[in-house]
Amino acid sequence: MVKVEVPSSADAAKKWADVTPGRSTYYESGAVGKGSKWEAEGKAAAPTFKSAMTAADIDKRFSGGIRRAGGAKYDRKVKDVGVGRFGPGVTAAKVDYEGGVGWVLAEIAATDIPGRKPRGDTGNYARSQNIGVALNKKRLAQLAAG
Protein backbone atom coordinates (compact mmCIF):
# COMPACT_ATOMS: atom_id res chain seq x y z
CA MET A 1 0.00 0.00 0.00
CA VAL A 2 1.19 3.51 -0.81
CA LYS A 3 0.50 6.62 1.23
CA VAL A 4 -0.48 9.81 -0.53
CA GLU A 5 1.99 12.56 0.25
CA VAL A 6 0.25 15.82 1.14
CA PRO A 7 1.55 19.17 2.36
CA SER A 8 0.83 20.36 5.87
CA SER A 9 -2.25 22.51 6.29
CA ALA A 10 0.04 25.47 7.12
CA ASP A 11 1.99 25.00 3.86
CA ALA A 12 -1.20 24.60 1.83
CA ALA A 13 -2.71 27.74 3.40
CA LYS A 14 0.48 29.75 2.77
CA LYS A 15 0.58 28.76 -0.89
CA TRP A 16 -3.12 29.49 -1.31
CA ALA A 17 -2.79 32.92 0.34
CA ASP A 18 0.33 33.77 -1.70
CA VAL A 19 -0.92 32.62 -5.11
CA THR A 20 -4.69 33.15 -5.18
CA PRO A 21 -4.90 36.96 -4.83
CA GLY A 22 -2.96 37.31 -8.10
CA ARG A 23 -5.60 35.32 -9.96
CA SER A 24 -8.33 37.95 -9.96
CA THR A 25 -8.19 38.12 -13.77
CA TYR A 26 -9.15 34.43 -13.90
CA TYR A 27 -12.04 35.16 -11.57
CA GLU A 28 -13.12 38.08 -13.71
CA SER A 29 -12.95 36.21 -17.02
CA GLY A 30 -14.83 33.26 -15.56
CA ALA A 31 -17.53 35.27 -13.80
CA VAL A 32 -18.28 38.37 -15.88
CA GLY A 33 -21.17 37.81 -18.27
CA LYS A 34 -22.41 34.70 -16.53
CA GLY A 35 -25.36 36.36 -14.77
CA SER A 36 -28.02 34.88 -17.04
CA LYS A 37 -26.59 31.38 -16.51
CA TRP A 38 -26.52 31.96 -12.73
CA GLU A 39 -30.12 33.17 -12.83
CA ALA A 40 -31.41 30.21 -14.88
CA GLU A 41 -29.56 27.60 -12.83
CA GLY A 42 -30.59 29.27 -9.57
CA LYS A 43 -34.25 29.17 -10.57
CA ALA A 44 -33.91 25.53 -11.63
CA ALA A 45 -32.42 24.69 -8.22
CA ALA A 46 -35.45 25.96 -6.28
CA PRO A 47 -36.81 22.43 -5.56
CA THR A 48 -33.39 21.33 -4.27
CA PHE A 49 -33.21 24.41 -2.06
CA LYS A 50 -36.66 23.67 -0.65
CA SER A 51 -35.67 20.06 0.09
CA ALA A 52 -32.50 21.21 1.83
CA MET A 53 -34.31 23.80 3.91
CA THR A 54 -36.98 21.34 5.02
CA ALA A 55 -34.61 18.47 5.88
CA ALA A 56 -35.46 16.95 9.24
CA ASP A 57 -32.12 17.88 10.79
CA ILE A 58 -31.61 21.28 9.14
CA ASP A 59 -31.62 23.05 12.51
CA LYS A 60 -28.77 20.83 13.73
CA ARG A 61 -26.78 21.36 10.53
CA PHE A 62 -27.27 25.10 10.77
CA SER A 63 -26.26 25.39 14.41
CA GLY A 64 -23.38 22.93 13.84
CA GLY A 65 -21.94 25.15 11.12
CA ILE A 66 -22.14 28.16 13.38
CA ARG A 67 -20.53 26.24 16.22
CA ARG A 68 -17.66 25.07 13.98
CA ALA A 69 -16.93 28.61 12.77
CA GLY A 70 -17.39 30.17 16.21
CA GLY A 71 -17.67 33.74 17.37
CA ALA A 72 -13.92 34.27 17.24
CA LYS A 73 -13.86 33.69 13.46
CA TYR A 74 -16.76 36.08 13.03
CA ASP A 75 -14.94 38.79 14.98
CA ARG A 76 -11.65 38.16 13.14
CA LYS A 77 -13.29 38.33 9.71
CA VAL A 78 -15.11 41.55 10.56
CA LYS A 79 -11.84 43.15 11.59
CA ASP A 80 -9.56 41.67 8.92
CA VAL A 81 -11.92 41.71 5.93
CA GLY A 82 -15.22 43.44 6.57
CA VAL A 83 -14.02 46.83 7.76
CA GLY A 84 -11.79 47.35 4.71
CA ARG A 85 -14.50 46.28 2.27
CA PHE A 86 -17.33 48.19 3.92
CA GLY A 87 -16.85 51.60 2.29
CA PRO A 88 -16.09 50.33 -1.23
CA GLY A 89 -19.00 47.88 -0.93
CA VAL A 90 -21.41 50.66 -0.04
CA THR A 91 -20.17 52.76 -2.96
CA ALA A 92 -20.52 49.83 -5.36
CA ALA A 93 -24.05 49.12 -4.11
CA LYS A 94 -25.45 52.64 -4.58
CA VAL A 95 -27.43 51.74 -7.74
CA ASP A 96 -28.74 48.55 -6.13
CA TYR A 97 -29.78 50.44 -2.99
CA GLU A 98 -31.61 53.03 -5.05
CA GLY A 99 -33.49 50.33 -6.94
CA GLY A 100 -34.26 48.37 -3.80
CA VAL A 101 -35.48 51.25 -1.68
CA GLY A 102 -37.38 53.00 -4.49
CA TRP A 103 -40.50 50.86 -4.30
CA VAL A 104 -40.52 51.12 -0.49
CA LEU A 105 -40.42 54.91 -0.52
CA ALA A 106 -43.03 55.08 -3.32
CA GLU A 107 -45.36 52.77 -1.39
CA ILE A 108 -44.98 54.80 1.82
CA ALA A 109 -45.68 58.01 -0.12
CA ALA A 110 -48.84 56.47 -1.63
CA THR A 111 -50.18 55.12 1.68
CA ASP A 112 -52.87 57.02 3.53
CA ILE A 113 -52.36 57.21 7.28
CA PRO A 114 -54.61 58.66 9.96
CA GLY A 115 -53.80 62.03 11.47
CA ARG A 116 -51.43 62.32 14.39
CA LYS A 117 -52.94 61.99 17.85
CA PRO A 118 -51.52 63.41 21.08
CA ARG A 119 -48.29 61.91 22.32
CA GLY A 120 -48.88 58.55 23.98
CA ASP A 121 -52.25 58.00 22.30
CA THR A 122 -52.50 54.41 21.07
CA GLY A 123 -54.20 55.71 17.93
CA ASN A 124 -50.75 56.74 16.71
CA TYR A 125 -49.89 53.06 16.21
CA ALA A 126 -52.36 52.93 13.32
CA ARG A 127 -50.03 55.25 11.37
CA SER A 128 -47.21 52.69 11.49
CA GLN A 129 -49.60 49.78 11.02
CA ASN A 130 -51.05 51.23 7.80
CA ILE A 131 -47.55 51.59 6.36
CA GLY A 132 -46.53 48.11 7.49
CA VAL A 133 -49.62 46.50 5.97
CA ALA A 134 -49.14 48.35 2.68
CA LEU A 135 -45.44 47.44 2.46
CA ASN A 136 -46.11 43.77 3.23
CA LYS A 137 -48.91 43.60 0.65
CA LYS A 138 -46.63 45.15 -1.99
CA ARG A 139 -43.72 42.84 -1.06
CA LEU A 140 -45.91 39.74 -1.34
CA ALA A 141 -47.30 40.94 -4.68
CA GLN A 142 -43.76 41.43 -6.00
CA LEU A 143 -42.72 37.96 -4.85
CA ALA A 144 -45.75 36.39 -6.51
CA ALA A 145 -45.02 38.23 -9.75
CA GLY A 146 -41.38 37.00 -9.77
pLDDT (tens digit, 9 = 90+) per residue, 95-139?
Answer: 999 999 999 999 999 999 999 999 999 999 999 999 999 999 999
* Same domain (yes/no): 76, 105: no
* Same domain (yes/no): 104, 141: yes
Quick one: pLDDT at residue 146? Answer: 60
* Same domain (yes/no): 70, 98: no
Q: What is the mean pLDDT of the chain?
A: 94
Q: What is the mean pLDDT of residues 27-32?
A: 94
* Same domain (yes/no): 87, 102: no
User: Who contacts 124 (Cβ-Cβ below 8 Å, separation ≥6)?
Assistant: 116, 117
Helices 94-110 & 125-145 angle (0-180, nearest 10): 120
Q: How far apart are CA 100 and CA 105, in angstroms?
A: 10
Number of domains in the chain: 2
Q: How far apart are CA 111 and CA 137, in angstroms?
A: 12
Q: What is the mean pLDDT of residues 23-41?
A: 95
Q: What is the mean pLDDT of residues 46-71?
A: 95
pTM of the model: 0.65
